[in-house]
Chains A and B, each alone.
Chain A
Amino acid sequence: MATIKIPPVLRPSVGGEKEIGASGASVGEVLRDLAANHPATQEQLFSADGELNRYVNVYLNDEDVRVLDGLNTAVSEGDVLVILPAMAGGR
């Protein structure tokens, strides 16, 4: 089981939770497990072809999965995934 940190804009899609546990041996599996349990996140995370949307950054612990193996990056028990869309509020 890995922990996924949910950003503010996605919290309404997961019942307001800030952290969700999800299972899987890779980043892709963990995120698809999240989407299976919280279908509203599917379109926000994945494009139609099943890839991560370009405007969503995902970090395994503190490293961007794009510089690792992307969705194929192996996930271990206790790892933390951070989902991070851009924010622009300043006022």
Chain B
Amino acid sequence: MSPPSGAELLRQVKSRIDEVDPAEVNELIDEGVTIVDVRGSEEFATGHLPGAKSIPRGHLESRIEGAAPDRSAELILYCASGSRSAYAARTLKEDLGYERVRSMTGGITLWKDRGYDVEVPRALSSEQRERYSRHLLIPEIGAEGQQKLLDAKVLLLGAGGLGSPTALYLAAAGVGTLGIVDNDEVDLSNLQRQVIHNSERIGTPKVDSAEQSIRALNPDVQVRKYPVRIDSSNIVEIIEGYDVVVDGVDNFPTRYLLNDATVRLKIPVVSASILGFDGQLSVFKPYDGPCYRCLFREPPPAELAPSCGANGVLGVLPGTMGLLQATEVIKLITGIGDPAIGRLLLYDALAATLTEVKVHRDPDCPICSRDPDEIADEELGVFPDYEAFCAAAG
């Protein structure tokens, strides 16, 4: 007897196994039946049955026990059209003793024709694998961490000295959504340090200039622009839904307002400030650590708060502090390392020293000692002498 043709062999194999129609599989999915996709991993990546596990046919015998340890449990295999899964079902039935294995008729092609759900796995594209290859090579980040970054929404308060480097590096790192709040326009005096802008964009709104730079750097990043001044009437609406807020604002009233609103919404804030040659940085993660009001119970009087007018700053300093902020943001999103929660880092650029002091939760904190639901709208950003604060500073 001559060996069978390919078509004849397939016919013989199908006669020895059980098949199942896509309609029945569609009902069994809800009951949690184990479904295995035996196509190649690249085919799987283009879309698969909801909840299906991927075991390419070449790895079937060695990997099936990981996906289906119980040989008496119901098991459904499928491929593109029902041929490879038929061979795979025969192997599992006859060689490995799977008692209730079936092959889905017509494969995922018929499944799709019937209009049933297809799940497209969230895999990095080949371009993304190349772009983020240096992240993928660090086990602490890897594909999973990169996906977290791509899914993350980070709000930057200010596209100025601190916001410029933070936005650029977070965009480069692939943070999927960057919100930018800034109502200023690019000025020549900004360009000594605000590296996201450039000479050609003087007079352009900073949010537009920042968006152009981010898009040119990484088209994966969605930019949301808020060309407004943040205040108690709009803050909750703007920050809600973000995973992390980066605080680079230049005045105390807004810092206290931001603190109160983020505590209420339980959004962590990566906060930094700069003056001259000195920088401060801390991470305020509501209820896990202290808040800004725990650290600074009261703002200093205006004469000791040189933040209202123009002050000198070494151009590179916001770069240093902004990148420390970006680093903390990435740590919070990916869950690696020890974020600077409960610690205040003091950077002295001239001395080249980094000093650290402890920050404790204040049991009497007017904001974070209370339940977030108890913090009312009118309490957000309550600040002594709000109107007079900067006027007094001249």
Residues of A within 8 A of B (CB): 5, 7-10, 18, 44, 54-57, 59, 62-64, 66-67, 82, 84-91
B306 touches A9 (CB 8 A): yes
A44 touches B304 (CB 8 A): yes
Q: Please name all residues of chain B whose beta carbon is closer than 8 Å to the beta carbon of A87 when the two chains form the complex.
A: 273-275, 278, 280, 307
Cβ contact of B161, chosen from A57, A59, A90, cutoff 8 A: A90
Interface string of B327-342 (1 = CB under 8 A from A): 0000000000000000
Query: Does B56 reach chain A (CB closer than 8 Å)?
Result: no
The stretch of B123-131, B350-358, B372-380 that contacts the partner chain:
B350-358
Query: Does B45 reach chain A (CB closer than 8 Å)?
Result: no
Q: Please name all residues of chain B whose beta carbon is closer than 8 Å to the beta carbon of A64 when the two chains form the complex.
A: 357-360
A55 touches B296 (CB 8 A): yes
CB distance from A66 to the nearest CB of B (A): 8
CB distance from A52 to the nearest CB of B (A): 11
Cβ contact of B252, chosen from A66, A82, A86, cutoff 8 A: A86
Q: Please name all residues of chain B whose beta carbon is closer than 8 Å to the beta carbon of A86 when the two chains form the complex.
A: 252, 273, 295-296, 299-300, 305
CB distance from B269 to the nearest CB of A (A): 13
B301 touches A55 (CB 8 A): yes
Q: List 16 A-B contacts (CB under 8 A).
A: A44-B304, A54-B297, A55-B298, A59-B358, A62-B357, A62-B358, A84-B346, A87-B274, A87-B275, A87-B278, A88-B250, A89-B275, A90-B272, A90-B273, A91-B160, A91-B162
Q: How far is the CA of A55 from the CA of B307 in the complex (A)?
A: 15
Query: Does B218 reach chain A (CB closer than 8 Å)?
Result: no
CB distance from B246 to the nearest CB of A (A): 10
CB distance from B365 to the nearest CB of A (A): 12
Query: Does B276 reach chain A (CB closer than 8 Å)?
Result: yes
| Chain B, residue nearest A5 (CB) | B355
Q: How far is the CA of A7 from the CA of B163 in the complex (A)?
A: 24
Interface centre among A18, A44, A67, A90 (most CB of B within 10 A): A90
State which size class the interface on B falls in.
35 or more
B346 touches A88 (CB 8 A): no
Q: How far is the CA of A89 from the CA of B163 in the complex (A)?
A: 12
Query: Does B381 reach chain A (CB closer than 8 Å)?
Result: no
Residues of B within 8 A of A (CB): 158, 160-163, 190, 247-252, 255, 272-278, 280, 295-301, 304-307, 311, 313, 318, 344, 346, 348, 351, 355-360
Q: How far is the CA of A89 from the CA of B160 in the complex (A)?
A: 11
Interface centre among A44, A64, A91 (most CB of B within 10 A): A91
Q: How far is the CA of A18 from the CA of B304 in the complex (A)?
A: 16
Q: How far is the CA of A85 from the CA of B360 in the complex (A)?
A: 16
Knowing A62-B356, A64-B358, the reply to whether A89 touches B274 (Cβ < 8 A) is yes
| Chain A, residue nearest B251 (CB) | A88
CB distance from A90 to the nearest CB of B (A): 4
Q: How far is the CA of A30 from the CA of B306 in the complex (A)?
A: 26
Ranked 6 nearest A-B pairs via Cβ: A88-B307, A90-B248, A86-B296, A87-B273, A91-B160, A55-B300
| Chain B, residue nearest A44 (CB) | B304
Q: Please name all residues of chain B whose beta carbon is closer than 8 Å to the beta carbon of A8 when the two chains form the complex.
A: 275-278
Q: How far is the CA of A62 from the CA of B272 in the complex (A)?
A: 19
Q: Please name all residues of chain A whose beta carbon is closer than 8 Å to the beta carbon of B298 when the two chains form the complex.
A: 54-55
A57 touches B295 (CB 8 A): yes
Given contacts A44-B304, A55-B304, A88-B252, 15 further A-B contacts (CB under 8 A): A9-B300, A18-B348, A54-B297, A54-B298, A55-B296, A62-B355, A82-B355, A82-B357, A88-B249, A88-B305, A90-B161, A90-B247, A90-B272, A90-B318, A91-B250
| Chain B, residue nearest A86 (CB) | B296
Knowing A8-B278, A90-B249, the reply to whether A18 touches B351 (Cβ < 8 A) is yes
Q: Please name all residues of chain B whose beta carbon is closer than 8 Å to the beta carbon of A44 when the two chains form the complex.
A: 304
A88 touches B297 (CB 8 A): no
Knowing A86-B252, A90-B160, the reply to whether A63 touches B358 (Cβ < 8 A) is yes
A91 touches B161 (CB 8 A): yes
CB distance from A73 to the nearest CB of B (A): 14
B249 touches A85 (CB 8 A): no
Q: Please name all residues of chain A whose beta carbon is closer than 8 Å to the beta carbon of B249 when the two chains form the complex.
A: 88, 90
Cβ contact of A67, chosen from B278, B296, B360, cutoff 8 A: B360
B311 touches A89 (CB 8 A): yes
Q: How far is the CA of A81 from the CA of B391 in the complex (A)?
A: 32
